[in-house]
Structure 1
Amino acid sequence: MPRFQILLFQGLLWLGILLTQTFLIGGGENILETIPKSGIIVLGQMTLVYFNTLFLFPRLYLKKKHFLYLIIGLMLILAISYGVQELVEYFYPRGRYRGVRKISTLTKSWYFLGRSFPLFMAFLLSTLLQVTRLFAIKEKESVQLRSEKLETELKFLRSQTNPHFLFNALNNIYTLTLIKSDKAPDYLLVLSDMLRYMLYECNAPKVRLEKEIGYIRHFISLNLLKDSRGLNVNFDCGEIPDHLEIAPMLLIPLVENAFKHSKFEDKANGWINIKLQLLGESLHLNVQNSLPDKSHTTDDTGGIGLVNVRRQLELIYPDQFQLSINEQDQVFSVDLIIEKL
């Protein structure tokens, strides 16, 4: 909140307290005569509140000197209460103001304690306000710290995306240029779109699901440069609404893993089946691939990729996802469901 608005709010608050106190204790007196008397009382309350807020609280309470803070606070309350009482009696010796005229010592003592109670409440409320404000600041800093930590971890996880396909794609495109294939420029544009998506659009927390699917299609096409027919690679994608969004680069590691370990180049034994669809409000991705050589599934890169996907899901979609990984009869299967996408 801007400083001017803070000062305006505080000014209106004290004005409201002054008017309220004037009507409460003024009795039948003339309002113009009662306001100065009430002003002395409010001035004492303001002195206590601001002295506590600007001096006592930061120098004693925040430094864990709670007992000293309490003692000085009580002494300050009594001192200001006495000062307010003496000022009112000095300026209005004949006033009809309740409890101000000359009275017995005992009655005056009770009056003094009664006068101190509102000051005690003002001191207590100002302390509670500062404690609440301090708690809110710490909570905000804690949330910001957690958010920054989460963002840092997500960036690190996304940076671990396997660049293996990129080297293969460049080598394949280079081969096309050597044989002067007309397809080389088109595939360079595809690769350019993929890199643009990775470098610029993936910095956002969410991207349109269509773009993530487009990246997967480009990835598949670049991996099938040597055989554009790709008869043993199937990608089945249902209709996707335009408004749906997803965390960027979340699905592609599952597809990368299939291409890395399936030996899909082996027309007789290698294959990949990818199916992506919406089931109600849930996104369902199923990736299956052949396992000609099971030893290929245990390398560090593939393992890190799947672990990273699970970690990203835990950070971005806690309690919203199901991820199952199965290997059976030379078939590796990954099934992902993200609910309420």
Structure 2
Amino acid sequence: MNIEKLKNNISSTVLIHVIIWGLFMSMALIPFYENSTDINADFFVQWVTGIALFYLNYYYLVPNLLLHKKAGLYITIVVVILLILMTIRFLYFMPEVRNPMVTRLMNTAANNQLQRGPHQGKPPLFFKIIPTLFYIFIIAASTVIRTLTEYHNNEQNKLIMESNRTASELNYLRKQTNPHFLFNALNSIYSLAYKKSDLVPDAIVTLSEMMRYMLYETDNQTVFLEKEINYIKNYLELQKLRLNNIENIYINIHGETREKYIEPLLLISFVENAFKYGTDYKGAAYVKIKISIENDNLDFWIENKIQDYTKDPDNSGIGMNNIENRLDLLYPNSHQLTILETDGTYTAHLKLKLDQLKKTNT
């Protein structure tokens, strides 16, 4: 937040407080005008000290004592302040005419007493404690407001911290995705170069298109689904260049992909995993992909044959763990992932609600 914006916020807050106190004092002045009574010094003392007490309690006593579990010290200080304020008012201001509403009640009570006996002119004790009740109300109001404000701020801070934590995790997972893909792609090109294949230039061009997408598109929170699917198609073409048997590699897409958004590089881990475990030592692969889009629902299905493969316990499963973590973070209540492994076939089925995210820059 820049200094100018901070100054504007402070000015707005001060103006709001002035207006609120002005309204309260205006309502308190109504009885003076209704009864044509002069405004006495006690009225101003009451409001000035009341407002000062409000902010003392709001900005210092509650946050530094009450909210720090020092209730005993807080109550002691409040009682002492009340005693000091009331002593000052009774000694210096209370003999003057009071608030006209209170005065009217006091006169009525005094008249009643005059009819009864010798205690004329002495107001009942109740009217003497009204200023104390005013201060107690001020303390109670400022305490409740500050407590609720602190609770609200704490909840907001928790949300911000959770949001920052989620963003950090997503950045970490994205950074894992890029080198993971690059490692696999370079392996594919290396295989072609090792065979002295004439397809190496085509592979490099395909890889450059994919890298351009990764560099310039995936910094966004979401990307167009159409571009994400084109990225998967390029990856398939890159794999086909290095394999000997590509008859069982295909992708079917049904539905409208335009104006749909998805988290970038979300599906590629499924595809990488399928080629990693679905390619045999002869260079033959069995990978089938189906993508169906209906309204804002994505249905992604991928199947591969499980070939004889010795897993590296330190490196295997990075892609799938990555994708599951990202799904939990980005689509916690709007995805369903089913993974089946039967009779040498591995199947992953993902249902996703696309309208949970919009294309925005991170």
Q: Taking structure 2 as the reference length, what is the TM-score of the superposition?
A: 0.79
Residue in 1 aligned with 2:24? 17
Alignment of 1:39-54 (within 5 A): 39-54=44-59
**Relative to structure 1, is the Cα distance of residues 260 and 97 closer, same or farther in structure 2, using a 3 angstrom cutoff?**
closer
Say whether 1:245 aligns with 2:261.
yes
**Relative to structure 1, is the Cα distance of residues 96 and 266 closer, same or farther in structure 2, using a 3 angstrom cutoff?**
closer
Residue in 1 aligned with 2:358? none
Following the alignment from structure 1 to structure 2, what is the Cα–Cα distance between the partners of residues 60 and 6?
A: 24
2:82 touches 2:132 (CA, 8 Å); kept in 1? yes
Aligned length: 333
Deviation at 1:189, TM superposition (A): 3.9
Deviation at 1:84, TM superposition (A): 3.9
Q: Partner amino acid for 1:155?
A: N
1:60 touches 1:68 (CA, 8 Å); kept in 2? yes
Residue in 1 aligned with 2:155? 139
Query: Which of 334, 340, 351 is the matching residue for 1:326?
Result: 340
Deviation at 1:170, TM superposition (A): 4.0
2:50 touches 2:135 (CA, 8 Å); kept in 1? yes
Q: Partner amino acid for 1:321?
A: H
Q: Partner amino acid for 1:242?
A: R
Residue in 2 aligned with 1:259? 275
RMSD: 3.2
Deviations 1:248-278 (A, max 9, x none): 22111000011111116747x6321111112
User: What percentage of residue pairs aligned between the two structures are identical?
Assistant: 24
1:284 touches 1:338 (CA, 8 Å); kept in 2? yes
**Relative to structure 1, is the Cα distance of residues 38 and 244 closer, same or farther in structure 2, using a 3 angstrom cutoff?**
farther
**SS at structure 2 position matched to 1:232:** strand
1:18 touches 1:39 (CA, 8 Å); kept in 2? no
Following the alignment from structure 1 to structure 2, what is the Cα–Cα distance between the partners of residues 306 and 21?
A: 68
Following the alignment from structure 1 to structure 2, what is the Cα–Cα distance between the partners of residues 272 and 41?
A: 82
Deviation at 1:300, TM superposition (A): 5.1
Deviations 1:135-184 (A, max 9, x none): 122212211111122122222223333243222244257569x66x5871
Residue in 1 aligned with 2:80? 75
Alignment of 1:1-341 (within 5 A): 2-24=9-31, 27-30=34-37, 33-34=38-39, 38-89=43-94, 92=96, 98-99=102-103, 107=123, 109-161=125-177, 162-163=180-181, 164-171=183-190, 174=193, 181=198, 184=201, 187-226=203-242, 230-263=246-279, 266=282, 270-293=285-308, 295-296=309-310, 301-339=315-353, 341=355
1:18 touches 1:38 (CA, 8 Å); kept in 2? no
Following the alignment from structure 1 to structure 2, what is the Cα–Cα distance between the partners of residues 95 and 263?
A: 92
Q: Partner amino acid for 1:192?
A: S
Deviation at 1:208, TM superposition (A): 1.8
Q: Partner amino acid for 1:166?
A: A
2:302 touches 2:348 (CA, 8 Å); kept in 1? yes
**Relative to structure 1, is the Cα distance of residues 278 and 83 closer, same or farther in structure 2, using a 3 angstrom cutoff?**
same
Following the alignment from structure 1 to structure 2, what is the Cα–Cα distance between the partners of residues 62 and 200?
A: 49
1:257 touches 1:302 (CA, 8 Å); kept in 2? no
2:225 touches 2:261 (CA, 8 Å); kept in 1? yes
1:173 touches 1:188 (CA, 8 Å); kept in 2? no
Following the alignment from structure 2 to structure 1, what is the Cα–Cα distance between the partners of residues 145 and 9?
A: 19
Following the alignment from structure 1 to structure 2, what is the Cα–Cα distance between the partners of residues 72 and 94?
A: 27
Following the alignment from structure 2 to structure 1, what is the Cα–Cα distance between the partners of residues 75 and 84?
A: 14
Following the alignment from structure 2 to structure 1, what is the Cα–Cα distance between the partners of residues 192 and 208?
A: 12
**SS at structure 2 position matched to 1:73:** helix
1:287 touches 1:335 (CA, 8 Å); kept in 2? yes
**Relative to structure 1, is the Cα distance of residues 140 and 95 closer, same or farther in structure 2, using a 3 angstrom cutoff?**
closer
**Relative to structure 1, is the Cα distance of residues 242 and 228 closer, same or farther in structure 2, using a 3 angstrom cutoff?**
farther
1:48 touches 1:80 (CA, 8 Å); kept in 2? no
**SS at structure 1 position matched to 2:332:** coil
1:322 touches 1:338 (CA, 8 Å); kept in 2? yes
Following the alignment from structure 2 to structure 1, what is the Cα–Cα distance between the partners of residues 147 and 176?
A: 43
1:286 touches 1:334 (CA, 8 Å); kept in 2? yes
Deviation at 1:61, TM superposition (A): 2.1
**SS at structure 1 position matched to 2:242:** coil
Following the alignment from structure 2 to structure 1, what is the Cα–Cα distance between the partners of residues 17 and 230?
A: 56
Following the alignment from structure 1 to structure 2, what is the Cα–Cα distance between the partners of residues 26 and 209?
A: 70
Deviation at 1:20, TM superposition (A): 0.8
**Relative to structure 1, is the Cα distance of residues 234 and 264 closer, same or farther in structure 2, using a 3 angstrom cutoff?**
farther
